[in-house]
Structure 1
Amino acid sequence: MHSELIISTYNSPAALGLCLESVAAQRVMPDGICIADDGSGPETRAVVDAFAARMAAHGRPVRHVWHEDRGFEKNAILNKAIASSTAQVLVFIDGDVMIHPDFVARHLALTRPGRFSTGSLIRLDADATASVTPEMVRSGQVFDRGWLRRNRALGKLSTWLKTRPFPVPVMALFEILSPVRRALCGANASVWRSDLLAINGYDETIKYGGGDKHLGIRLNNAGVRGRHLRFSAPLVHLDHPRGYADPERMRRHKAMIRAARKSGEAYTPHGIVKEEDSAAR
């Protein structure tokens, strides 16, 4: 079973650097790492190049999949990463998160064809985000419940449970019993590449807001069922502005999500293979 970790990013080199520190600390490493870059500049490339050199010493290839900046086109760059991958299992995170040392291992332990696994986020506010250093990531301090509590990140019982306070078998039981809908969260997900290709990947007409959820619904419609890692794969999210959010587009995307759930559609004509490409053949 060959695996690849796909990390989406856009012009956030400092956050990406912290994310990659957490990747380097994984107890079980993926076979490969792909940075899916939505048009970042040279500062991000420098971070990726330095990380690739570091991983080469451990025999872990790092790919930098990039396209020019056309605004928020995360779904398009993810499709490019999926299409060009040779891995069987793809684990997805965003470049503004830090993953627990057991994160990849937990995803790989649960993966199988016909299943996607998905988790959630522990969110830091702006002040806590500004205090994070690479050493804090390497030491695991950013996952410490005391530090998270002092930094206002554990306001709810459900968020405290996301820190994995009990052994994994106990947390897994909580996940199975959780009434929360198994909606795909693209910052914490894994799925077999063949299952993604069967539905043609992400719908590229969806920009910011709802693309992950739409993908998860179409996977469900294709018979690929979701499995929670809500409480057993901790992940801490760094705060950032969202100037690209467009309320009108988000309303359109919500309508698309409702339509997909109602219609049972699985395949999108606006994904990895485009309608015009199919027509040309």
Structure 2
Amino acid sequence: MRTELIVSTYNNPRSLGLCLASVARQGILPDGIAIADDGSGPETAAVVEAFALPGVAVRHVWHEDRGFEKNAILNRAIATSEAEFLLFLDGDVLIRPDFVARHLEIARPDRWSSGSLIRLDAAASAAVTEDLIASGEVFSRDWLRAHGALDRFGTWLKTRPFPKPVMAALDRLTPVQRAWGGSNASAFRAALVKVNGFDESMKYGGEDKELGVRLTNAGIRGQHSRYLASVVHLDHSRGYVDPEIIRANKDRIREARRSGLAWAVDGIVKPAV
């Protein structure tokens, strides 16, 4: 089974470089990596060009900057992928060395998977270096606690304080809604094609969760790896946030649940004109 890691990014070359540094330390590497670039400038292109892993195909999927069109560039990456199984990251997260292995371990054609985030504030994000990633210290409870990231018991659990069987049981039993999180998710490509990918008409604010609802409506159920596949999120500004769009997206998600909608009209396959 061929696998591809799809990493979304937009004009954040420092975070992307750190993200890729964590990708490079995977115990099981994907067969390919697609940088799904929502219109970044030459600094991001330079980061992608400089990144290479033996035996791993790296491609830069880019379109012109027309505002927030993350779903559109993700659909292009999906449509042009030759892999059977796709893993999704945002280019502002750091992944543990067993991240890919964990998603593969629970992969099933009738399931999609989503992990969780441990969020760093601006000061902690600025302190992250490639050396901290290489040593694994940035994922340690001591480092995260010292940098103010372990603010709740649930966040502490994301650091995997108990043996793997215990954490796996907590993943199964924790009563949280199964929601697709675009910064940490996976599915078989065939499942994504079945629902026509992401809805490109949706801008920032729940646009990823809507995909999870439609996958579920299509008979592809969600599963969490909240504790065994958490990622560390680097802080950054979001100049594209619009409260009105977020409210409208929430309405669309509720309607998708109510109606059983599975197919994205404005998705990978466009409506005939």
Do both proteins adopt the same fold according to a TM-score greater than 0.5, normalized to the shorter chain? yes
Q: Which runs of 4+ in 1 moved over 4 A?
A: none
1:167 deviation in Å? 2.1
- The count of aligned residue pairs is 273
One-letter identity of the residue aligned with 2:33: I
Match of 2:120 in 1: 124
Query: In the alignment, which of 97, 100, 103 is matched to residue 104 of structure 1?
Result: 100
Q: Distance in 2 between matches of 1:249 and 1:20?
A: 31
1:154 to 2:150 alignment: yes
Alignment of 1:252 onto 2:248: yes
Query: 8 Å contact 1:82–1:193 — kept in the other structure?
Result: yes
> How far apart in 2 are the matches of 1:93 and 1:265?
25
Structure 1 counterpart of 2:140, which letter? D
Distance 1:77 1:170 in 2: 38
Task: Tell me whether 1:73 sits opposite 2:69 in the alignment.
Answer: yes
Q: Distance in 2 between matches of 1:132 and 1:119?
A: 21
Alignment match, 1:236? 232
Q: How does 1:201-240 map to 2 (within 5 A)?
A: 201-240=197-236
Counterpart Cα distance in 1 of 2:77 and 2:138: 29
User: What is the aligned partner in structure 2 of residue 272 from structure 1?
Assistant: 268
TM-score (norm 1): 0.96
Gap regions ≥5 residues in structure 2 = none
Q: Name the aligned partner's letter for residue 99 of structure 1.
A: I
CA drift at 1:234:
2.5
Provide the residue aligned with 1:23 in structure 2.
23
**In the alignment, what sits opposite 2:189?**
193
CA distance in structure 2 between the partners assigned to 1:164 and 1:206 by the alignment:
34
| Structural RMSD (CA) | 0.7
Taking the aligned partners of 2:230 and 2:163, their CA distance within structure 1 comes to 13
**Distance (whole Å) between structure 2 residues aligned to residue 234 and residue 180 of structure 1:** 15
The percent identity for this pair of structures is 63
Alpha-carbon separation, structure 2, partners of 1:191 and 1:169: 23
How far apart, CA to CA, are the structure 1 residues paired with 2:168 and 2:112?
A: 15
Measured after TM superposition, the shift of residue 166 of structure 1 is 1.7
Contact between 1:19 and 1:97, CA under 8 Å: does it hold in 2?
yes
Measured after TM superposition, the shift of residue 230 of structure 1 is 0.1
- For residues 165 and 226 of structure 1, what CA distance do their matches in structure 2 show? 25
The residue that corresponds to 1:164 in the other structure is 160
Using the TM superposition, give the Cα deviation of residue 144 of structure 1 relative to its aligned residue in structure 2, in angstroms: 0.7
Q: Quote the Cα distance in structure 2 between the aligned partners of 1:24 and 1:129.
A: 19
Aligned with 1:8: secondary structure?
Answer: strand
Letter of the 1:89 counterpart: F
Give me the TM-score of the superposition, normalised by structure 2: 0.99
Task: Give the 3-state SS of the residue equivalent to 2:185 in structure 1.
Answer: strand
Distance 2:230 2:79 in 1: 28
Task: Tell me the SS of whatever aligns to 2:126.
Answer: helix
Q: Deviations over 1:63-108 (max 9, x none)?
A: 1000000000000000000000010000001000000111000001
Distance 1:116 1:66 in 2: 25
